[in-house]
A and B are shown apart, each in its own frame.
Chain A
Amino acid sequence: MNLQIALLLGQDGLTNGAIYALLALALVLVFTVTRVIFIPQGEFVAYGALTLASLQVGAVPGTLWLLLGASILVCIAEIATAIRKRALRAIPRLLALYLAAPALLGLATWWLAPLKPPMPLQVLLTLALVVPLGPLLYRLAYQRLASASVLVLLIVSVAVHLVLSGLGLLFFGAEGSRTPAFSDQVLDIGTLRFSAQSLWVIGASGCLVAALGWFFGRTLYGKALRATAINRVGARLVGISTTLAGKLSFTLAALIGASSGVLIAPITTVYYDSGFLIGLKGFVAAIIGGLASYPIAAGGALLVGLLEAYSSFWASAFKEVIVFTLIIPVLLWRSLGKRQIEEEE
């Protein structure tokens, strides 16, 4: 291995690591706020990438049907709750939010998709289709179980993951897709060559992380999420709705997942089930951060990315083994190094 190969591998590792970092942040966020180990996180990556890919060939993506179906279910559930609570005045607002808005989005997609709009518009449309799935999923699968044990929530996550990947096969087919790069430019710095796309990935990930930092540090909603993460009961006592916090964290998770998907779609072929493994690597990083610390999780993600890149050079047959074995020393270190605090269930 010479210096150039080492640098190329480093670049590759950082690009992948940036994606894992985003997913790790989303996993930590969802876990701290709702105690859900969010296995379907990776599905949002696949849905984001494949929705963009189908828009690019001028087809109406299957994600739209999922969005419409989920909205209708949520609408029925919400109206039922409203009637039970005798809050009939909320119904028009619910109808507008869960029926009219998705229908408008559907019409827009149906009208825009065959026109093959420019790339930025396609990306926006993709995000508009995939991100609402986050809060809708929370409402359908998790909200009623918000106070259940971590184990029950994990089991629900597995179920949601299986449903989403099955629907992915139905919507996008078994074969993968690749989208054209945001730009084909290549940047030469010294002997090193960067593809513009990998710079896009690293840059966009950095921006997203900075935006999240600002959101948590400076805005009221961000602070509410942080408060819920630190102490759910305390947060409720000061008037923070846990339901709102849950929905918000799932929206952010879906946003992060879909953006990651849009970012990696030009670098690699994405399949309906690719998301799971990508999400799992983000999970390894989140575990390194103890499912609690954002900076350590992000650092862990870069470590996973680099380890993956270098092990694919030295021992390609054992790449996954090496990456996932990383979790054992981390768990050992975490369980030996700290006194265990059992969370009350």
Chain B
Amino acid sequence: MQARFLVAAMLLGLAAAAQAQIKVGVTLSATGPAASLGIPEKNTFALMPATLGGQKVEYIVLDDASDTTTAVKNTRKLIAEDKVDVVVGSTITPNSLAMIDVAAEGETPMISMAASARIVEPMDAKRYWVFKTPQNDSQMATAITQHMTDNGVTSAAFIGFSDAYGEGWWNEFSKIAELRKIRIVANERYSRSDTSVTGQVLKIMAANPDAVLIAGSGTPAALPQVALAERGYKGRIYQTHGVANNDFLRVGGKNVEGTVLPAGPMLVAEQLPDSNPIKKVALDYIKRYEAAYGAGSRSTFGAHAWDAGLLLARAVPIALKKAKPGTPEFRKALRDALESTSNLVADHGVFNMTKADHLGFDQRARVMVKIENGKWKLIQ
């Protein structure tokens, strides 16, 4: 009898101890098609601080295999079983969009690491709970078209992934290009696993555009560019920020020289002027990441995860003053604290969130980068 009482008391004690700490639930795409984005994010969570605002933090990291159903299932599990205080994820847009309903239903704040603006716009009762860290596609597309018009480009061709990423970019780019009077002469698609894009490239070459925009992410984005180079295309080539990792340079080799792309400032942190506050934050993250995973291993995607950590580091102490972790009040307070984030310098920009804008980045969140001698070079 006594033993049983003891066990019960111990269990109660354990439960109380578990209640006291903050739980961060993470679902990301560490396997499947988005693995090249998800793996650096997963690595980054291993570097996150063990305490926030003096309170112990437990990170529960789950893999959703780049699959929407699994992402939703993970989110339900994190909220219902693990009773997390905040959900971070997922890596890609389709997963994040599907998770919004679950997070809102569980009244748990969610920070997405995916790019599309649709995750936080238009603001409604569900997106009330949702925040995101990467720059919006439209922000990046504006930068590209700006660079095009500045350099006298009047006609452009588009080739993108045949998925949500390519489609999203096509929508943004075609809209902004029309405003800027850039004629789009070809619109092609290819898939990440294609072994050849000869057909699409021949069609683009026949249309003879001043510039080609390739909307792909990671190393698969090198395929059309290599094919264009092999066929002797001489115009300008633009890529999106999806390619900003060193594997792209490795696979593209000399064929991607001279490519121009918009990117988060973290990619070229060393080249930023010292007056830029982002430089210090980004270099700090890069130092920690490369100390753990080797020189040159940095990735802009991992930095999106780190930025989510920075947001939490700012918001958690504020929320702790209002309520205890593990309660609905704490989650509400955390959400309010996230929404009132102002002037938080992160790897990819400066967060100034408002009720209507749950991203809060401005022009400082993107730079134009050129590939020179196999390195990323900041265009001043």
What is the interface of chain A, defined by CB distance below 8 A to chain B? 5, 8-9, 12, 15-16, 19, 166, 169, 173-178, 195, 264, 267-269, 271, 273-274, 276-278, 308-314, 316-317, 319-320
In the bound complex, residues from chain B placing their C-beta under 8 Å from that of A264 are 195
What is the minimal beta-carbon distance from A127 to any residue of chain B, in angstroms? Answer: 21
Contacting residue for B35 out of A12, A19, A174, CB 8 A = A174
* A5-B206, A269-B222 known; A274-B195 Cβ under 8 A: yes
Interface 9-mer from B12-20, B82-90, B144-152, B196-204: B196-204
A9 contacts B199, C-beta separation under 8 Å: yes
A293 to B256, CA, bound (A): 44
B199 contacts A309, C-beta separation under 8 Å: yes
In the bound complex, residues from chain A placing their C-beta under 8 Å from that of B203 are 313, 316
Interface 9-mer from B127-135, B186-194, B302-310, B330-338: B186-194
- Kindly name the residue among A19, A166, A278, A312 whose own CB sees the greatest number of chain B CB atoms within 10 A: A312
A312 contacts B198, C-beta separation under 8 Å: yes
Q: B221: nearest residue on chain A (CB-CB)?
A: A269
What is the minimal beta-carbon distance from B35 to any residue of chain A, in angstroms? Answer: 3
Q: Is B354 an interface residue (CB 8 A)?
A: no
- Kindly name the residue among A269, A310, A311 whose own CB sees the greatest number of chain B CB atoms within 10 A: A269
What is the interface of chain B, defined by CB distance below 8 A to chain A? 31, 33, 35-36, 38-39, 159, 162, 188-200, 202-203, 206, 218-220, 222-223, 226, 230, 245, 247, 250-251, 253
What is the minimal beta-carbon distance from B188 to any residue of chain A, in angstroms? Answer: 5
B247 contacts A175, C-beta separation under 8 Å: yes
Q: A178: nearest residue on chain B (CB-CB)?
A: B251
B198 contacts A177, C-beta separation under 8 Å: no
* A12-B198, A175-B251 known; A317-B35 Cβ under 8 A: no
B36 contacts A175, C-beta separation under 8 Å: yes
A16 contacts B195, C-beta separation under 8 Å: yes
A9 contacts B188, C-beta separation under 8 Å: no
- Kindly name the residue among A9, A175, A264, A267 whose own CB sees the greatest number of chain B CB atoms within 10 A: A175
- 18 residue pairs of the A-B complex, CB under 8 angstroms, read A5-B206, A9-B198, A16-B195, A169-B31, A174-B39, A174-B218, A175-B245, A175-B247, A176-B251, A177-B251, A178-B222, A278-B195, A312-B198, A313-B200, A316-B159, A316-B200, A319-B189, A320-B191
A309 to B202, CA, bound (A): 11
A313 contacts B220, C-beta separation under 8 Å: no
B196 contacts A313, C-beta separation under 8 Å: no
A310 contacts B199, C-beta separation under 8 Å: yes
A311 to B251, CA, bound (A): 26
In the bound complex, residues from chain B placing their C-beta under 8 Å from that of A308 are 196
A169 to B245, CA, bound (A): 18
Contacting residue for A316 out of B188, B247, B253, CB 8 A = B188
Which 8 residue pairs of A and B lie closest in terms of their CB atoms, listed nearest first?
A312-B199, A174-B35, A313-B199, A175-B247, A174-B36, A12-B198, A317-B189, A268-B195
What is the minimal beta-carbon distance from B29 to any residue of chain A, in angstroms? Answer: 10
A175 contacts B190, C-beta separation under 8 Å: no
What is the minimal beta-carbon distance from A132 to any residue of chain B, in angstroms? Answer: 26
A277 to B194, CA, bound (A): 8
B31 contacts A176, C-beta separation under 8 Å: no
- Kindly name the residue among B193, B202, B223, B230 whose own CB sees the greatest number of chain A CB atoms within 10 A: B193
In the bound complex, residues from chain B placing their C-beta under 8 Å from that of A269 are 219-220, 222-223, 251
B193 contacts A277, C-beta separation under 8 Å: yes
**Besides A169-B31, A176-B219, 5 other CB < 8 A contacts?**
A9-B202, A178-B253, A271-B219, A312-B197, A313-B199
In the bound complex, residues from chain A placing their C-beta under 8 Å from that of B230 are 195
B196 contacts A273, C-beta separation under 8 Å: no
A311 contacts B222, C-beta separation under 8 Å: no
What is the minimal beta-carbon distance from B214 to any residue of chain A, in angstroms? Answer: 13
In the bound complex, residues from chain A placing their C-beta under 8 Å from that of B223 are 268-269
A320 to B161, CA, bound (A): 13
Contacting residue for B196 out of A166, A178, A312, CB 8 A = A312
Q: B38: nearest residue on chain A (CB-CB)?
A: A174
A16 to B193, CA, bound (A): 14
A176 contacts B189, C-beta separation under 8 Å: no
A78 to B195, CA, bound (A): 40
A169 to B218, CA, bound (A): 15
A311 contacts B199, C-beta separation under 8 Å: yes
* A169-B35, A269-B222 known; A316-B190 Cβ under 8 A: yes
Q: A165: nearest residue on chain B (CB-CB)?
A: B31
Q: A271: nearest residue on chain B (CB-CB)?
A: B193
A16 to B194, CA, bound (A): 11
Contacting residue for A166 out of B31, B195, B226, CB 8 A = B31
A309 contacts B196, C-beta separation under 8 Å: yes
What is the minimal beta-carbon distance from A320 to any residue of chain B, in angstroms? Answer: 6
A176 to B35, CA, bound (A): 11
In the bound complex, residues from chain B placing their C-beta under 8 Å from that of A9 are 198-199, 202
What is the minimal beta-carbon distance from A185 to any residue of chain B, in angstroms? Answer: 13
In the bound complex, residues from chain A placing their C-beta under 8 Å from that of B219 are 175-176, 269, 271
Q: A268: nearest residue on chain B (CB-CB)?
A: B195
Q: A6: nearest residue on chain B (CB-CB)?
A: B202
A173 to B190, CA, bound (A): 22
In the bound complex, residues from chain B placing their C-beta under 8 Å from that of A268 are 194-196, 223
A274 to B35, CA, bound (A): 13
A173 to B206, CA, bound (A): 37
A337 to B194, CA, bound (A): 34
A274 to B226, CA, bound (A): 18
B199 contacts A12, C-beta separation under 8 Å: yes
Q: B200: nearest residue on chain A (CB-CB)?
A: A316
What is the minimal beta-carbon distance from A292 to any residue of chain B, in angstroms? Answer: 27
Q: B34: nearest residue on chain A (CB-CB)?
A: A174
